[in-house]
Structure 1
Amino acid sequence: MADDKSKPGGQDRTRINVNEDYELRDWSKKLKVTPEQLKAAVKAVGTNAEAVEKHLKGK
């Protein structure tokens, strides 16, 4: 589901949307990886932020 930018809050904080530049930038910074590494992790395990973080830490 796409972000509804008119509604502030945490409804999408458990998902990573690598198609949104600001999310790609912010999640890459938070997880201390490059945007390319983040995209690869999302491709491997899906958009769930917890699963992506576990995948990245496992490498």
Structure 2
Amino acid sequence: MVDDKSKRDFRDRDRVSADEDYEVEYFAKTAGITPQQTRELIARHGNDRATLEAQARRLKGK
């Protein structure tokens, strides 16, 4: 199901949905990793944005 972008609130700002391409692409762009790497991080560590940002920094450092 596609997100209704007209409904704006803060309920899931701390999550990244692997099912929504635009969320994956935005996170990948801002974190400096690929969308595929983003999906792998979500599969491995869950969809908590803070955790994913920390893991993306570690991934980029390698």
TM-score greater than 0.5 by the shorter chain: yes
Rg larger in 1 or in 2?
Answer: 2
1:30 aligned partner = 30
Higher mean alpha-carbon deviation, 15-24 vs 2-11, is at 2-11
5+ residue gaps, structure 2: none
5+ residue gaps, structure 1: none
Task: Give secondary structure in 2 for the equivalent of 1:57.
Answer: helix
| Greater than 4 Å deviation, 4+ residue runs | none
2:45 aligned partner = 45
**1:8 and 2:3 equivalent?**
no
State whether residues 28 and 34 of structure 1, in contact with CA within 8 Å, keep that contact through their aligned partners in structure 2: yes
TM-score relative to the length of structure 2: 0.77
Q: Which amino acid aligns with 1:25?
A: E
Pairs aligned (count): 58
Q: CA RMSD in A?
A: 1.9
TM-score relative to the length of structure 1: 0.80
Task: Give secondary structure in 2 for the equivalent of 1:58.
Answer: helix
Sequence identity of aligned pairs in percent? 28
